[in-house]
Structure 1
Amino acid sequence: MSIVEIFFSPSGTSQKVADRMANNFSQEKEICNLLIFKSEKELKSDDIAVVVMPVFAGRIPKAARERLSKIKGNDTPAIAVVNYGNAHVTDSLLELVDLLKENNFNVIAAASTISHHSIFDGVAIGRPDDSDFEKIDGFAKDCIEKLESNESLKSEIPGNRPYVDYKQLPFEISCDETLCAFCYDCVSICPEMAIPEDDPIETDLEICSRCTACISICPEDARRFSGDAFEAKKPAFEEANAERKEPDFYL
């Protein structure tokens, strides 16, 4: 029996939530990082899956969905969590629960948690914080108790079917060539293969999902969001989402 942490975490915050959840369990831990894991996998019936996905404009990311679809359960208990930047969950948690059920997981609980926004860095600074982690620990303990009863998720999950359409954000991603060390970490981590192998300065914005993996991994802080659309949106978005939201838990 293992706790299997499954996460897609371009900016690292969803992994923090997954780690915190999994650390409440005593079983041996297995990591499945969907940024680099693309293979098929089947979990056993006595494993426990902790699945944490970020929210991209109200949905779980396309690349994350495609990779998670290759992981199957055997009536395996699963805890579904979406992690968002203090803006909107929309249909993402419902989508994640639906996908896990389709893949033969027994979803026993679900949650939405809050982290520092990956694009607009003035929103939810420092989160998840101590208060968030305390609530995540409490939720994990509730999940452990529920596992003993072998009950499935009973709460109704907010959201709509069909899910909101995917959106392609108009923001540009630029790379400062004077800072770039040409380490090619951004090339290897990009889930969309939007950065040419022979030129890490460039980004194909037609296929880029704006996931921020390349920005987060850059050791020289050479990559960033830029352009008129981003600069115009940033202050309004940060003002509209300044009020602190709290995690929601469903059992």
Structure 2
Amino acid sequence: MSNVTKIYFSPSGTTKQVVDQIAGNFSSEKETYDLLNFNSAKEFASDDVVIVGMPVFAGRIPKSGRERLSKLKGDNTKAIAVVNYGNAHVTDSLLELVDLLKENNFNVIAAASTISHHSIFSGVAVGRPDESDIKKINEFSKKCMEKIESGESLRSEIPGNKPYTDYKQLPFVISCDDMLCAFCYDCVSICPEKAIPDDDPIDTDLDLCSRCTACIHICPEDARMFTGEAFEAKKPAFEEANSERKEPELYF
């Protein structure tokens, strides 16, 4: 089988986990492009296979992830498209990802939406992906391998709307506890929006910040967090509204 490349934008690490799980079913050599760090042009060959994972931000794929993915081009390269969300709403994100890959000359053979522990509201989708999710992801992977061998492209219609839903900026505040911060500057290095000043990791420019949570999840001291009245008010209502279990959706 052709070489397999993993491509993902995964601020909290959950989308990476799903892409890794899919890729683990393939025996081929694997390259990785982490779009939190990789922001360059790249063209893939016609005999490559790429697994592309994106998180869902309020029904869309994140702007920074989209911009970086747009620099990656295919040559009728086979692609598996996956969006990963926190049990709330997929909305237009999977359709947007599939459309973008096709525009960049990738041959999408399959697509999926998967569920992981919510990156902002900790009470939603706790423990996911769980054993049931992993089983479905593995079944999806095997079906993808069959489609690669058969040469078939994606036939299923992907749900969503055009134009896509507007991007929404969450009003939540990200703060840093200066008593906990070790000034390691990991948050500065990983922030895709350059919203944390090079000389002051305690600060966050909330006008630039996309609330992607990368800085929160990379912090070794747990010094960065969501705070403020808007977040505290939204948390219980959001967790109650999204408590009913959703399942992965697979498209071939």
TM-score by structure 1 length?
A: 0.99
Which amino acid is 1:247 matched to? P
Deviation at 1:239, TM superposition (A): 0.2
Match of 1:199 in 2: 200
Distance in 1, Cα, partners of 2:194 & 2:130: 33
Deviation at 1:82, TM superposition (A): 0.2
Distance 1:126 1:209 in 2: 25
- What is the aligned partner in structure 1 of residue 78 from structure 2? 77
2:248 corresponds to 1:235: no
Query: Which residue number corresponds to residue 98 of structure 1?
Result: 99
Which residue in 1 is equivalent to 2:214? 213
Which whole-Å CA distance do the structure 2 matches of 1:230 and 1:236 have between them? Answer: 10
* C-alpha distance in structure 1 between counterparts of 2:67 and 2:178, whole Å: 33
Distance 2:59 2:218 in 1: 24
Task: Give, in whole Å, the separation in 2 of the partners of 1:41 and 1:128.
Answer: 31
SS of residue paired to 1:141:
helix
What is the CA–CA distance in structure 2 between the aligned matches of 1:76 and 1:189, rounded to whole Å? 29
Per the alignment, residue 225 of structure 2 pairs with 224
CA distance in 1, matches of 2:3, 2:68: 20
After superposing on structure 2, the runs of 4+ consecutive aligned residues of structure 1 that deviate more than 3 Å are none
Superimposed CA distance per residue, residues 73-101 of structure 1 (whole angstroms, 9 cap, x where no aligned partner): 01000000000000000000000000000
Q: Does 1:155 align with 2:156?
A: yes
Structure 1 counterpart of 2:8: 7
State the alpha-carbon separation in 1 of the partners of residues 97 and 215 from structure 2. 24
CA positional deviation for 1:246: 0.4
Task: Give 1:144 deviation, angstroms.
Answer: 0.4
1:43-86 Cα distance to aligned partner (Å, 9 max, x none): 11111010010000000000000000000001000000000000
Q: In structure 1, give the amino acid aligned to 2:149.
A: E
Identity of aligned residues (%): 75
Q: Deviations over 1:151-177 (max 9, x none)?
A: 110000000010000000000001000
Partner of 2:122: 121
Which residue of structure 1 aligns with residue 136 of structure 2?
135
CA deviation vs aligned residue, 1:114-153 (integer Å, no higher than 9, x gap)? 0000000100011111111110000000010111111110
Whole-Å separation in 1 of the counterparts to 2:72 and 2:52: 11
Counterpart for residue 37 of structure 2: 36
Q: Deviations over 1:201-250 (max 9, x none)?
A: 00000010000000000000000000000000000000000011000000
In the alignment, structure 1 residue 171 sits paired with structure 2 residue 172: yes
Listed one character per residue, the Cα deviations across residues 30-51 of structure 1 (whole Å, up to 9, x for unaligned) are 0010000001111111110100
RMSD (Å) for aligned C-alpha atoms:
0.5
Partner of 1:146: 147
Q: What is the one-letter code of the residue matched to 1:169?
A: L
Matched, 1:63 2:89: no
CA–CA distance in 1 between the matches of 2:47 and 2:236? Answer: 48
